[in-house]
């Protein structure tokens, strides 16, 4: 409630929707777009939504750049995908393309592909070469890697397999 103490009586009407937004943010970081959509679904007035977004940005409860960085770091660590797939997911969450590009500059598709396949290699090591190739190519393509990256990754593991 400390947030509400710093605002005039006119903004007391914002209290319940602001609390809804804060509760929604409490579960996990969100983007500005996600908060806007959540509040729209709850039937909140557009003017209130703008004020709530301003408050949350001012208090640093919302930060799309931080969200994008956190999102990519987490996904790259636990379930790596291609930069293309990450870009698509962040666009769906309403992140500005310039922020997406800035965050993704630190990542390389080849490294992400190798990282994504490593845990699977243990389960695929007994497969014959044809099945192994098919599994790996499908696995990588499903995660958004282009054909060249898939082929380079496959070659890397085929050579280490022999």
pLDDT in 10s for each residue of the chain, 162 residues: 444 444 444 456 778 888 999 999 998 999 999 999 999 999 988 988 999 999 999 999 999 999 999 999 999 999 999 999 999 999 999 999 999 999 999 999 999 999 999 999 888 888 888 999 999 999 999 999 999 999 999 998 887 765
94: left (phi > 0), else alpha (psi -120 to 50), else beta? left
For the chain, what are the domain ranges? 1-62, 66-160
Question: pTM for the whole thing?
Answer: 0.81
Q: What is the CATH topology of the domain spanning 1-62?
A: Arc Repressor Mutant, subunit A (1.10.10)
Q: How many Å apart are CA 104 and CA 158, to the nearest integer? A: 28
């Amino acid at each position: 409630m400390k947030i509400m103490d710093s605002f005039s009586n006119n903004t007391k009407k914002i209290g319940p929707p602001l609390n809804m937004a804060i509760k929604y943010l409490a579960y996990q970081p969100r983007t500005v777009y996600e908060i806007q959509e959540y509040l729209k679904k709850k039937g909140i007035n557009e003017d209130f939504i703008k004020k709530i977004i301003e408050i949350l940005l001012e208090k640093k409860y919302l930060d799309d750049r931080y969200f994008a960085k956190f999102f990519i770091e987490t996904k790259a660590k636990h379930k790596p995908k291609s930069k293309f797939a990450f870009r698509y997911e962040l666009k769906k969450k309403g992140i500005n393309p310039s922020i997406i590009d800035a965050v993704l500059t630190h990542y390389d598709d080849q490294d992400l592909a190798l990282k994504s396949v490593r845990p699977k290699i243990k389960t695929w090591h007994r497969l014959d070469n044809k099945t192994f190739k098919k599994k790996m190519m499908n696995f990588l393509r499903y995660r958004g890697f282009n054909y060249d990256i898939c082929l380079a990754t496959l070659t890397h593991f085929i050579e280490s397999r022999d």
